[in-house]
Amino acid sequence: MKDALQVVKIGGNIIDDEAKLNSFLKDFARLTGPKILVHGGGKIATEVSKGLGIEARMVDGRRITDAETLRVVTMVYGGLVNKNIVAKLQANNCNALGLTGADADIIPATKRPVKDIDYGFVGDIAEGAIPAATLQLLLDNNLTPVIAPLTHDGQGNLLNTNADTIASALAVALSHIFPTQLTYCFEKKGVLVDINDDNSVIHQITPNQYESLKNDGTIAQGMIPKLDNAFRAIEAGVNSVIICHADELLRILKKQATAGTKLIKGDR
C-alpha cells in the first residue's frame, strides 16, 4: 500500500503574516511522505487591487473576478504568493514545485454560470475532472506540488477558484491512489462554538451535527463552504478531514495532539 498522502490547505491571516507563514512552512516541510500544499491569497490581492485603483468586490466572502481583477489575482496568487512559498520550502529542504491548475492541465474547470450573481472569471471543478495520474507522477518523484487557487477552462482562460474547493477536489481525486488526509489550516484552532472564544473548539462534527449547527447559526458565513467541501470529500473517499490552527499541523498529523476539529463520516 502507498504511503498516506497529506493534502494541506493554508489560508486566512497566516498568508499575510510572514513570521506565521515561515513557521507553518517549516512544519509542513518536515512532514514525511507525499504531500501537496494548496494556498489562498490572503489580503494581498485586495491590497494590490487597491494600489492599482481596482475596487475589490466580494459577495458572501467570495471575490467577484472581472477581467482586471483576474489579472491581479494571477499576478498575486500564481506569482508573488506561490513562488515565495516555493522558495521558502526549498530553504527548508522540501523540493517544491509551484503550479496553477493550467500547468500540466492538472485542474481543468468551467466558468461558473450566471444565476443570481455573476462571479465573473470564477471556475467550478467538475467531479472526476482532475487527472490524478499526472499529480501521482510528481509525487512519486518526490516533488511537492504547491498549488495556487487558479484553474483554467481549456480555451485559454485562467479562472479564479476557491482554494478550499481545490484542496477538496485534489484530495478526492488522489484518494483513489493514496490513503488521503485533507487538512485545512488557518488562524483559528478549529470550528468554534463562539467565534470570539478561540478555546470553544468543536472537536468532532458529524453530518447531522453540522446541519444542526448551521440551522442554529453556530456555524455561518465563511466556514460553511469550507465544511461543505470537507464533508463532500469524506463522502467521496478521503480518509479524514481536520480543520486546525496552522501552528498545530505537525503535532496533529504526527498524532501528538488531538487539537482542531475532525469531521466524521456518519453519526457514530
Q: Which residues make up each annotated binding site for substrate?
A: 41-42, 63, 160
CA dist., res. 261 & res. 264, Å (int): 10
Q: Which residues pair with 120 in a beta bridge?
A: 65
List binding-site positions. Answer: 41-42, 63, 160
Q: CA gyration radius for the chain?
A: 18
Q: Hunting for cell 488557518 — which residue is that? A: 186
Residues 6+ apart with CB under 8 A from 251: 257, 259
Greatest Cα pair distance in the chain: 53
